[in-house]
Amino acid sequence: DAKKLVRSPSGLRMVPEHRAARSPFGLDEPPWVPDKECPRCMQCDTKFDFITRKHHCRRCGKCFCDKCCSKKVPLPRMCFVDPVRQCAECALVSLKETEFYDKQLKVLMNGATFFVTLGTSDKSELMVCRLSNNQRYLVLDGDSHYEIEIIQISTVQILTEGFTPGGGNTRAIGMILQYKVPGSEEVTQMKFTAGEDFNCNRKLSASWLAAMHKATKLLYESRDQ
């Protein structure tokens, strides 16, 4: 997918040429609170003057003094090329998301092997599941081939085992995915179950499911924007 470099008041961004090609996990730039509407820092209430300048957080668009908005951190969900100024609260969120983009996204793209059951069928098929490089499709390959558009996914339920009423470690063993078939309102369900044949495969599957759980949270946030 072709991309272009654009300049906004917030900084340089590398974005897809067509909006339809954007990542389903992305966020739009927020509108900035107009200068005339923020005579004081929206965090510490310090009054702005010639010495105390105002700065806008690139993630939330609110207005802060330099002390409350001094951090410059990566913001991949908005496609910024360089780290951008953010308030303390937004910076913490963005740093957590950077871990997803640096580590968990790669896990999803590398893929993992699951037994996949379609709908109410009692038969499962061993398939390699991975996220496409453009982040827009979940690709399943086995004897069959499926491509599920991420934006069509309605619910994701991670299946775990090992939970006890008194607490304890749980392990992700699968997931149930529901998505809409393009061009209709029909909802299809898929069940993914990690194989128990090799210990290394179980670990890889559990890591993939954990990454998918995080990706689902980002997907829901993008929709609620």
Q: pLDDT digits over 32-58, tens only?
A: 999 999 999 999 999 999 899 999 999
pLDDT for position 170: 75
% the chain with pLDDT above 70: 94
Read off the pLDDT band of 225 (50, 70, 90). Answer: low
Is 166 a residue whose pLDDT tops 80?
A: no
Q: What is the pLDDT of residue 149?
A: 93
- Distance, CA of 38 to CA of 138 (rounded, Å): 44
Residue with tokens 């893929």: 111
What's the chain's length in residues?
A: 225
Contact status, residue 20 vs residue 40, Cβ threshold 8 Å: no
Model confidence at 147, pLDDT cuts 50, 70, 90, reads very high
Structure tokens at 24: 């389903």
Q: What residue type is 43 in one-letter code?
A: Q
**Predicted pLDDT of residue 199:** 54
Give me the mean pLDDT over the 21-39 stretch: 92
pLDDT at 119: 87
Give the chain's domains with CATH numbers.
3-107 (3.30.40.10), 111-224 (2.30.29.160)
**Whether pTM exceeds 0.85:** no
69 vs 136: CA distance, rounded Å? 33
At 207, which helix (H) or strand (E)?
helix 199-224
pLDDT, tens digit, 9 for 90 and up, residues 66-93: 999 999 999 999 999 999 999 999 999 9
Coil, helix or strand at residue 214: helix
Q: Are 195 and 203 in contact (CB under 8 A)?
A: no
161 bridge partner residues: 171
Is 80 exceeded by the pLDDT of residue 224?
no
Query: In which element (H, E) is residue 106 found?
Result: helix 105-110
Using DSSP's 3-state secondary structure scheme, residue 113 falls into strand
pLDDT at 156: 93
Q: How far apart are CA 155 and CA 139, in angstroms?
A: 17
**Chain center to CA of 212:** 9
Token pair 């690709």 in the structure block, residue: 139
Q: What separation, in Å, do the N-terminal and C-terminal C-alpha atoms of the chain show?
A: 24
Backbone angles phi and psi of 153, in degrees to 5 = -75, 125
* Amino acid identity at 111: G
192-203 pLDDT, tens digit per residue, is 998 766 555 778
**pLDDT given for residue 160 in this prediction:** 86
Q: Is the pLDDT of residue 164 over 90?
A: no
Work out the average pLDDT over 116-140: 92
Rg over alpha carbons for the chain, rounded to the nearest Å, is 21
Instruction: Give me the chain's average pLDDT, please.
Output: 90
Tell me, what DSSP letter sits at residue 101? I
Question: Which pLDDT score is estimated for 82?
Answer: 95
| Beta carbons within 10 angstroms of residue 167's beta carbon | 7
pLDDT at res. 184: 78
Q: What is the pLDDT of residues 170-189, one digit of tens each?
A: 778 899 999 998 777 789 99
